Structure 1
């Protein structure tokens, strides 16, 4: 009787089948191998750091060869990418415009030359070139002289109609606008140096000779479009330098305050310009005069479209996009992201606007495996706090980009950890300076108030190439240094570099 009862305990209920499994001998799923569990434990331990308390952090890791996702932490949570948005913008630009695409700036006239006089207006037409510099304007002046033009009886006109007239993306913070990171976008603009921060001017403060006097101020390029309000004061040699350089919102008045010691080191700042079209025209007018080309009568300046019947007198082409990507991505140039966005809109849809350009970016992102139903794009640089992308979407884009013919150019544009050359190491040149991450981690950084991100590629110890995306949102405190939030990103990248599968 007891034997029968014991057997009944092992009989299935009606409608059920017997399924004996020895759980101790189960093979783990392919995505949960022993080695992956080891990596998971390491990454989970990093993400348990108290510095991440109160944050929302998304992490995604894939094998670069197969796209297999081997780790995800909040991977599908939409987060602010900061300058990791530039991964989408640069990929879309390469895919849409091509690595050899060049911007142009042109000089036109609606008049004719009689003797040494141009009878008609002179038009400086911008078509989005962020690399236009003072030296290029001198080349334009030389080209006019070579055509026999020494005087102009007409207006100097700026044509920025290649793009719309919306200068700032809709989510740019009011407090960001005076600085080079929030420079205005115009199809006609000027860069002060070869970093190509278009729409900015360099303000340099140097010591004067006597205590109590104002310090010396120099603008690059020289112009009278900017008004300098110099409230600095020279102090004794051993006193502290404390210089503030801020452009007043909505104006081109730059207020410079503070103390400069005798023999003190220069203070330099890149300030954005209010209405960069007028800025470019102002510098061009000065250069024409310096090169011996004068205007007859009053030099009126205008702003409107070049007439269809006008004749082109000179043209300057930018470096190709594949070269422009170096300062754009290595130095995280916000202006390039916005100008490329408008350029894609102009080329693909005939409208140089953020709306049309972001349509192009979203379309290319979809082609690169991104679920566009779960992202929100608001600008091309990542300055917006309303752009949202999940970490898994970024790692998908990084995976599928490898299939594109332009991928080598794109990968080369990423900052490389620990390499001191700023146009190689870029924003990672002072991070991860030791092996195995140094020279190995190639990734785009991102930083906004309360946001820090890092996404890219790294090769593991056994040669397995990996893709990773780390998005940290809502942190408080420092971002840089060993105690900062970027140390978390670095530790993840270093752990991947050390791992063996």
Structure 2
């Protein structure tokens, strides 16, 4: 009996080692089959709880590499340290004027607080709140106070080419609808007619030039572009191409160029729809110290803003949150100050100095560098620190379910069991997060590829590595 117990104990103790070796063998086979040179890869996988981590795979884990959008993991970690769960930004309407017979005698000020999620619903809430003051007319200007942040709209470390796509939107303390506009295109009633184009939201800041044509069939080649009109003081949306009479609605997203004016013109439009007129012009300025709050709209909680950033890899939200961190330390808030705080946070986490260099919070740059081990340290911290772990975990895309992982690992052992942040630039693919198993085991991993192999095949390789762990 004693011999049997000894043999059984020896067998049980050997299982983790056997499992680890099996994992390593299987993962090495997948790496070899992928045809990706190991010199282009940085891979680090561990399993275990707390600081007691069993290394499952280590390929170039100390090599500094371009991380792309998994940079947002570091940004999220710093944001959740400096802003407690439940923190909310407040956008305000203020005035130092007097109210006489439902008329505000003086300027109305829209003051931004750096809310990255200030969208149409929030604007309606703010306007309806203001409506209850029973003011129907503003005899003065509509002043936009964008002063919480500096006026640097784009981080210099972003890719240098400016494009009109929504992912390259400018940032400002008073921003609205992700500083982007929705363009909806529907076919005309019959071939030969112009297509029907709708801008949402619609206001005086944007002008539409519609050069589309409706054709027979259901194909379409509709294109749109946004051009800044410095004389007019807004943006012009050009829509052209052809759309079939049987085609479904096409939607295109474009950024705008001047967040403060964009927010001001939208407020004017929303006020008008509630029967409130502005007699003056829309201009940029600051609220006076004597101004009183007439209406206020709170943002969603900070953890939901982090989810907006991570689920869909939103660069605009990353930079807005970073400027908010900068404003905590020194106003006006700047990306430079915010990045100092992110790098200080990474140093506190114990990342080796020679294994990271962060210049941009979103990863939309080739200047950011970090080793897979360095990123793993951040991921592990976010797993171990209960103060932030639930909020961070909820912010990550879920394999086969939502966000940037919605179409990956679907109908595989990885579906719903992998939560991770994705990254992509030309010749860069990355993935960092957690893979859980039904037996309670959780793997913490960082995958980075810097090379010339087809990016789609690299993403599939990463997925196959995780599926092998979870089978």
Give yes or no for TM over 0.5: yes
**Deviation digits for residues 398-442 of structure 1 (CA, Å, limit 9, x no counterpart):** 1122232111121122111122xxxxx321121112342111111
The residue number in structure 2 matching 1:245 is: 224
3-state SS of paired residue (1:95): helix
Structure 2: how far apart are the matches of 1:247 and 1:104?
A: 30
What stretches of structure 1 move > 6 A for 4+ residues in a row?
A: none
The residue number in structure 2 matching 1:491 is: 464
- CA drift of 1:318 comes to 0.5
Deviation larger for 467-476 or 240-249: 240-249
Among 327, 333, 351, the residue aligned to 1:370:
351
1:289-300 maps to which residues of 2 (within 5 A)? 289-296=272-279, 299-300=280-281
- CA drift of 1:452 comes to 1.3
Structure 2: how far apart are the matches of 1:372 and 1:249?
A: 42
**CA contact under 8 A between 2:43 and 2:57: conserved in structure 1?**
yes
Structure 1: how far apart are the matches of 2:91 and 2:152?
A: 20
Change over 3 Å in CA distance of 1:467–1:54 after alignment to 2:
closer
Query: Is 1:86 matched with 2:72?
Result: yes
**Deviation digits for residues 265-315 of structure 1 (CA, Å, limit 9, x no counterpart):** 11101111111111111111112222111234xx21210121112111111
**CA contact under 8 A between 1:246 and 1:254: conserved in structure 2?**
yes
Among 288, 306, 309, the residue aligned to 2:271:
288
Deviation larger for 37-46 or 320-329: 37-46
**CA contact under 8 A between 1:233 and 1:258: conserved in structure 2?**
yes
The residue number in structure 2 matching 1:43 is: 27
1:92-171 maps to which residues of 2 (within 5 A)? 92-171=78-157
- CA drift of 1:35 comes to 4.4
**Deviation digits for residues 304-353 of structure 1 (CA, Å, limit 9, x no counterpart):** 12111211111111011122333222222221111111111111344411
3-state SS of paired residue (2:295): strand
Change over 3 Å in CA distance of 1:292–1:367 after alignment to 2:
same
**Deviation digits for residues 345-380 of structure 1 (CA, Å, limit 9, x no counterpart):** 111344411111111111222223322442111221
* Equivalent residues, number: 450
Deviation larger for 227-236 or 269-278: 227-236
The residue number in structure 1 matching 2:334 is: 353
Structure 2: how far apart are the matches of 1:147 and 1:470?
A: 55
Structure 2: how far apart are the matches of 1:54 and 1:217?
A: 50
**CA contact under 8 A between 2:268 and 2:278: conserved in structure 1?**
no
**CA contact under 8 A between 1:365 and 1:372: conserved in structure 2?**
no
Deviation larger for 299-308 or 371-380: 371-380
The residue number in structure 2 matching 1:414 is: 396
Structure 1, gaps ≥5 residues long: 1-29, 192-197, 420-424
The residue number in structure 2 matching 1:448 is: 425
Structure 2: how far apart are the matches of 1:212 and 1:86?
A: 47
Structure 2: how far apart are the matches of 1:145 and 1:39?
A: 63
Query: Is 1:60 matched with 2:33?
Result: no
- CA drift of 1:111 comes to 1.1
Structure 1: how far apart are the matches of 2:27 and 2:430?
A: 16
Greater gyration radius: 1
**CA contact under 8 A between 2:417 and 2:437: conserved in structure 1?**
no
Structure 2: how far apart are the matches of 1:426 and 1:294?
A: 40
Structure 2, gaps ≥5 residues long: 1-13
- CA drift of 1:154 comes to 0.9
The residue number in structure 1 matching 2:190 is: 210
Compute the TM-score of the two structures, normalised by the length of structure 1.
0.85
The residue number in structure 2 matching 1:422 is: none
RMSD: 2.2
The residue number in structure 1 matching 2:317 is: 336
Compute the TM-score of the two structures, normalised by the length of structure 2.
0.90
Structure 2: how far apart are the matches of 1:375 and 1:210?
A: 59
Change over 3 Å in CA distance of 1:126–1:180 after alignment to 2:
same
Deviation larger for 115-124 or 228-237: 228-237
Change over 3 Å in CA distance of 1:439–1:54 after alignment to 2:
closer
1:368-447 maps to which residues of 2 (within 5 A)? 368-404=349-385, 405-419=387-401, 425-447=402-424
The residue number in structure 1 matching 2:301 is: 320
- CA drift of 1:470 comes to 0.4
Change over 3 Å in CA distance of 1:64–1:161 after alignment to 2:
farther
Query: Is 1:472 matched with 2:446?
Result: no
Structure 2: how far apart are the matches of 1:464 and 1:54?
A: 27
- CA drift of 1:53 comes to 4.6
Change over 3 Å in CA distance of 1:79–1:218 after alignment to 2:
same
Query: Is 1:235 matched with 2:215?
Result: yes
1:254-293 maps to which residues of 2 (within 5 A)? 254-293=237-276
